[in-house]
Amino acid sequence: MMDTEGNLSTFIITLSIMLFSWIFIHRLKQRNSKGPKTWPFLGAAIEQLVNYDRMHDWMVEYLSQSRTVVVPMPFTTYTYIADPANVEHVLRTNFSNYPKGEVYHSYMEVLLGDGIFNADGELWRKQRKTASFEFASKNLRDFSTVVFREYSLKLFDILCHASYSNQEIDMQELLMRMTLDSICKVGFGVEIGTLVPDLPDNQFAKAFDMANTIVTLRFIDPLWKVKKFFNVGSEAVLDQSIKTIDDFTFSVIKRRKAEIEETEGINKDEKVKHDILSRFIELSRDPQSNMTDKSLRDVVLNFVIAGRDTTATTLAWAIYMIMTHKDVADKLYSELKRFEEDRAEEEGISLIKYHKENPESFNQKAMQFAGLLGYDSIGKLYYLHAVITETLRLYPAVPQDPKGIIQDDVLPDGTKVKAGGMVTYVPYAMGRMEYNWGPDAASFDPERWLKDGIFQNSSPFKFTAFQAGPRICLGKDSAYLQMKMALAILCRFYEFKLLPGHLVAYRMMTILSMAHGLKLTVSRRQQDS
């Protein structure tokens, strides 16, 4: 008995020494590593979990030391890149080797299904071709311009009431409502009415935000499949959120189908409406399309995340940047005033006479100004375009974008990546790297985009807010159109002031939204009060 206990004790001691020696050797090898601390089996999961709420800035710290950072995790390895040469290799040069991949698809499928942002191969190419055709349509462009102007003025009216009483508002929430209403009108031809003075509760928007947050957590939660199987914890909340989302989405599809059939029943020559969903419904009638209501549901939700969340969060960060940089606010206002005067002269409108005859018509002035903002004319607002682009450089709507790896490969900087792993380019960090933008990389400076007053583009592999290569964002022009329309109208007539003590920080989601909203007060510019 004594010998048995002694042998067991010796075995335990020997095993413990071997285990601690293994961990010690592993950590010793990490001493010269420029990446995060890793541990056997766990990889860098501990450090990543500790820094989860500030993960984008955590990556900035490592990518400022090394242009490529390898982060082992329990079931896969992430390779983060910030060098434009590596990004171009992944997004264009060897594009076919870096799809969204099965891992990413499994995380996001519950929300985005097989929509364009979550699809690869032929399914992606087919959706891309259809969407490309629609975004190039003059009818959709003109329709979008009218809708974006309409909802920007609705937001203007809400701010007008808030300015009277110095009411505190959450600008991010209002912008989310504006872009949700806009994308539902442009994308699906329906009015959902969330941007009205009484700000009605919207369960779809809440459920969509919750689902977005939880699927993002899946990327670092090794137990999410277990929780999903037993329908507990965050996965139980996700399941309920998806039910709310699907109820709304399928009702939209059903409504649009009924409206189309009713219209055709009255007038068979009536053309399908200009909204995107109507076009996809029309395409789904082709037996060879294989499109079901589930396919249409995926189309709807992919356009919602593209047209609502990304645009609203960028507008929120832009307003935050404008209000905290007085020189930028002044230059932007000057450009908008000059634009108004020049366009009014072209239209034969006497602004001085109009304003004298209508001294109290603040809303009328805004409507008149908005009427000068057309698809072509708004393109002349170069400083406004630069303000938005500079915002996207520092606060990209999609802060990280992971890709799967099909075959082993070597990146241009010599980094080896293994099949089955993930490569993630990091727009948030790329915009802050001095090796990309110079010593003032961290500064907000719209002037960096202008040459002799004219906007100058940068390489899409350096400025990656809209991705690049074959997957470059199809809605880029549409997004700029809505953002410029809204900011032009709001910044021409209002000034914004952040509430004292309000914390502005991002929330960990697939989209870089503000964790606590954007709480501020709004006042009319003195010239227009």
Within this chain, do residues 69 and 200 fall inside the same structural domain, yes or no? Answer: yes
Exposure string of 295-333, with b = 16+ CB inside 10 Å and e = fewer, is bbbbbbbbbbbbbbbbbbbbbbbbbbbbbebeebbebbb
The pLDDT tens digits for 125-182 are 988 888 888 788 888 899 999 999 999 999 999 999 999 988 999 999 999 999 999 9
What pLDDT score was predicted for residue 523? 96
Regarding whether 23 and 108 lie in a shared domain, the answer is no
Query: What is the domain count for the chain?
Result: 2
Tell me the residue type at 125.
R
Instruction: State the Cα–Cα distance between residues 310 and 513, nearest whole angstrom.
Output: 8
Q: Are residues 355 and 461 in the same domain?
A: yes
User: Do 5 and 97 lie in a common domain?
Assistant: no
From the CA atom positions of the chain, what is the Rg in Å? 26
For 113, the token pair is: 């299904």
What CATH number should be reported for the domain holding residue 479? 1.10.630.10
Q: How far is CA 482 from CA 153, 253, 399, in A?
A: 12, 24, 21
Question: Does 93 share its domain with 175?
Answer: yes
Answer yes or no: do 9 and 146 share one domain.
no
Binding residue ranges: 473
DSSP 450: E
**How confident is the model at residue 379, as a pLDDT?**
94
* H helical segments located in 30-120: 45-50, 55-63, 84-88, 101-112
Q: Which residue ranges make up the annotated binding site for heme?
A: 473
The pLDDT of residue 415 is 96
The predicted pLDDT at position 282 comes to 85
Pair 21, 110 in one domain: no
Task: Identify whether residues 382 and 402 lie together within a single domain.
Answer: yes
**Is the same domain home to 90 and 148?**
yes
The confidence score (pLDDT) of residue 28 equals: 44
* Shared-domain flag, residues 51 and 4: no
Residue 432 has which token pair?
Answer: 């802050």
Is-contact 182 147, C-beta < 8 A?
A: yes
pLDDT tens, position by position, 422-481: 999 999 999 999 999 999 999 999 999 999 999 999 999 999 999 999 999 999 999 999
Which structural domain range is residue 3 located in?
1-32
27 and 47 part of one domain = no
pTM of the model: 0.86
For the chain, helix (H) and strand (E) counts, in that order, are: 21, 11
Q: Which two tokens stand for residue 319?
A: 């307003």
Cα torsion 342, 348, 350, 351: sign:
negative
**Based on the domain organization, do 74 and 112 belong to the same domain?**
yes
**What residues of the chain score a pLDDT lower than 70?**
1-34, 39, 41-43, 45, 267-273, 349-360, 527-529
Residue 143 phi/psi, 5° resolution?
Answer: -60, -45
Q: Which of these, 486, 492, 489, 484, lies nearest to 381 by C-alpha position?
A: 484
Return the number of other C-beta atoms located less than 10 Å from residue 505's C-beta.
10
Burial of 151 (0-12, 13-18, 19+ CB in 10 A): buried
